[in-house]
Amino acid sequence: MGYVFGLFKYWIKGPFTNPIAFYIYGAGILALMNAFPHFIDGNFVQMVFQYFFIKYLPPTSVGQVIMQVIVGTLVAGLRWFVFTPR
Q: Could you read off the pLDDT of 51-61 as tens digits, one per residue?
A: 888 778 888 88
Report the predicted TM-score, pTM, of the whole model to 2 decimal places.
0.81
Task: Name which residue leads in pLDDT, 33 or 72.
Answer: 72
Distance CA 85, CA 38 (A): 37
Question: DSSP H helical segments within the chain, as ranges?
Answer: 2-17, 19-41, 44-56, 62-83
| Of 33, 69, 42, residue with least CA distance to 77 | 69
CB atoms within 10 A of CB 16: 9
Distance CA 50, CA 9 (A): 33
On the CB side of 32, CA atoms within 13 Å amount to 7
Q: Could you read off the pLDDT of 7-66 as tens digits, one per residue?
A: 999 999 999 998 999 998 998 898 888 888 888 888 888 888 888 887 788 888 899 899
pLDDT beyond 80 at 1: no
